[in-house]
């Protein structure tokens, strides 16, 4: 389980890096796209670490949200590279290839469900679930309405929250292991 948590930390760190580069460069470039692709790959597997921590409370919402998030992230791994090579903006690309809206919808719904599961499981602080719910909605609203700065800052906060949850979960795993040794 710890490797899944490490994968999530790596993935969400890539997303933070992507957002910081985008802010520093004033827009998208190849570094942003490749970091975003790495984020989708590592977070697509890593999110399972948080689910397995919550699973102890028989949380079907966690499973549902995790499946939706994982599948959407993994379905979108190559999307940033396709957008990079197309020369189009994200919104222009999705207009031409609207089937990418399907994993985007699954991602939004999955994050909202997962955030509810986090609140319900009470394994992590309630505020982390709230940040996941509102952060996912703010991201979609900001991106679809052309507010990239809001999306960037929001994604850094959302990623930092999930990294915090992974570190907290890892510390709990270490504590449990220390008690059994």
Average pLDDT on 64-70 reads 96
> In the predicted model, is pLDDT for residue 57 greater than 70?
no
Per-residue pLDDT tens over the stretch 147-170 = 999 999 999 999 999 999 999 999
Mean pLDDT of the chain: 92
Q: What is the pLDDT of residues 76-113, one digit of tens each?
A: 888 888 988 898 888 889 899 898 889 989 999 999 99
**pLDDT above 70 as % of the chain:** 96
Q: Express each pLDDT in 125-143 by its tens digit.
A: 999 999 999 999 999 999 9
CA trace torsion 125, 126, 127, 132 (10° rounding): 110
The backbone torsions φ and ψ at residue 124, rounded to the nearest 5 degrees and listed phi first, read -115, 160
Q: What is the pLDDT of residue 80?
A: 86
pLDDT at 119 over 90: yes
Taking the C-alpha atoms of residue 83 and residue 105, their distance in angstroms, rounded to an integer, is: 18
Q: What is the pTM of this model?
A: 0.92
**pLDDT for residue 179 is more than 70:** no
Mean predicted confidence (pLDDT) in 45-67: 90
At 33 the pLDDT is 92
Q: Where are the alpha helices (DSSP H) in the chain?
A: 2-25, 30-54, 60-75, 79-86, 90-96, 101-121, 126-144, 148-180
Q: In the prediction, which pLDDT does 8 show?
A: 97
pLDDT at 88: 87
Q: In this predicted structure, what is the pLDDT of residue 89? A: 84
Give the CA angle between residues 23, 168, 181 to the nearest 5°: 145
């Amino acid at each position: 389980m710890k490797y899944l948590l490490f994968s999530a930390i790596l993935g969400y760190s890539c997303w933070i890096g992507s957002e910081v580069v985008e802010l520093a460069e004033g827009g998208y470039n190849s570094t942003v796209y490749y970091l975003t692709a790495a984020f989708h790959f590592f977070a697509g597997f890593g999110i399972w670490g948080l689910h397995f921590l919550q699973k102890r409370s028989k949380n079907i919402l966690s499973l549902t949200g995790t499946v939706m998030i994982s599948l959407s992230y993994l379905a979108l791994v190559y999307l940033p590279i396709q957008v990079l090579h197309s020369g189009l903006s994200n919104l222009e690309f999705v207009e031409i290839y609207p089937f990418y809206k399907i994993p985007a919808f699954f991602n939004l719904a999955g994050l909202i469900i997962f955030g509810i599961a986090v609140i319900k499981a009470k394994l992590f602080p309630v505020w982390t679930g709230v940040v996941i719910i509102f952060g996912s909605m703010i991201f979609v609203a900001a991106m679809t309405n052309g507010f990239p700065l809001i999306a960037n800052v929001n994604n850094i906060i959302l990623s930092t929250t999930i990294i915090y949850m992974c570190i907290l979960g890892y510390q709990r795993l270490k504590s449990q292991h220390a008690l059994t040794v």
